[in-house]
Amino acid sequence: MKRLEEFPRVSLGVFPTPIRRLDRISKLLHTNVYVKRDDLTGLGLGGNKTRKLEFLLADARAQGAQVVFTTGGAQSNHAMLTAAAAGRLGMRAILLLKKRGVTDCRGNLLLEKLMGTDVRLIDTDDYNEIYAEMDRVGRALGVPYYKIPCGGSNALGSLGYVACAREIHEQGQAFDYIVCAEGSGGTMAGLALGAKLYLPGTRVCGMMVDRAPFDEITPALMRGAAALLEAEVTIGPEDYLLRDACGPGYAVPSPEGNEAIACLAANEGIFLDPTYTGKAFAGLLAMAREGAFRPEDKVLFLHSGGAAGIFAAAL
Ligand SMILES: *Cc1c(COP(=O)(O)O)cnc(C)c1O
């Protein structure tokens, strides 16, 4: 198996991110809940995409790219962090974002305005059309360009969360569960593969905040990342847990998510976002209420960021 150090990587974040026991939440839920603060990754307002971008933008740089394209919803945290990271590396970011969702100048669009990012709102729901548009724009510019998929979720980006699993191992505590939001899949897939490699005994549960075939996406990304690493593992359904946490729809706030946001804000002074982490934490609360965790279990919640989304939400 290859070592993670053999892959080109740019330094964008501050790692390791802290792990802390949530004492008041643990008491409320009669189990041991911990948080890993990937909302404090140190670029922009923090968030999970920084770990993926360390690998993706190193690849872009190795290929001589001057322009980096990516896409997502109008309030994509991933797109904003890609622009922030590209700026730091002296590359130009062009964001082709879907027009649906909050498109007035709030949240991530406001941060992109502050950075002077080239943002183009595209009136389609089909990512293939957007990737084709990237090629049209890139060819017209006539400079080397690099395309990053929605959420940075390809095999290479997922290595960021394989590295996170190794980081958790190095932080010296063992967990029975890791719970994270699953939006485009790379975070969950990286953690689930990383757990298989570095965290035996830890089950990773992806809280699905979008309606997509994650039972196909998750193992496909895990296999892709394992292939890059030349890791000899077989991936099966026993390697990951998935749970619906979408509520009324992707990026539409849910009552359960809002309750989870209020719970963590009031009891721990930690702010979750309405699109991803609020719904993911609501899923954790629901599992606890259903008796999924024993009193002696240790459950690690990945806070994957999303702060800007709070300021674009209609809560
Ligand atoms: C993108 C994102 C996620 C989901 O991660 P994926 O790798 O896309 O599944 C979770 N939380 C936040 C705040 C995000 O921006």
- Please give the Cα distance from 308 to 266 (Å, whole number): 19
61-109: pLDDT as tens digits: 999 999 999 999 999 999 999 999 999 999 999 999 999 888 899 999 9
CATH architecture of the domain 49-152 equals: 3-Layer(aba) Sandwich (3.40)
Among the listed residues 70, 75, 150, the one whose alpha carbon sits nearest the alpha carbon of residue 107: 75
Does the domain at 4-48+153-311 match CATH 3.30.930.10? Answer given as: no
What residues line ligand 1, using a CB cutoff of 6 Å? 47-48, 77-78, 151, 153, 181-188, 273, 276-277, 304-306
Give the position, in ligand 1's atom list, of the atom nearest the Cα of 277: 11
Give the position, in ligand 1's atom list, of the atom nearest the Cα of 151: 8
Distance from Cα 140 to the centre of ligand 1, integer Å = 31
Indicate the SS3 state at residue 96: strand
Distance from Cα 141 to the centre of ligand 1, integer Å = 30
37-70: pLDDT as tens digits: 999 999 999 999 999 999 999 999 999 999 999 9
Distance from Cα 221 to the centre of ligand 1, integer Å = 15
Give the position, in ligand 1's atom list, of the atom nearest the Cα of 161: 7
Among the listed residues 123, 104, 55, 47, the one whose alpha carbon sits nearest the alpha carbon of residue 79: 47
The residue ranges of every structural domain in the chain are 4-48+153-311, 49-152
4-48+153-311 against 49-152: fold identical: yes
Annotated active-site residue 304? The verdict is: no
Output phi, psi for 176, to 5 deg. Answer: -80, -35
Distance from Cα 188 to the centre of ligand 1, integer Å = 9
- Please give the Cα distance from 96 to 99 (Å, whole number): 9
Does the global pTM surpass 0.95? yes
Q: CA end-to-end span of the chain, whole Å?
A: 46
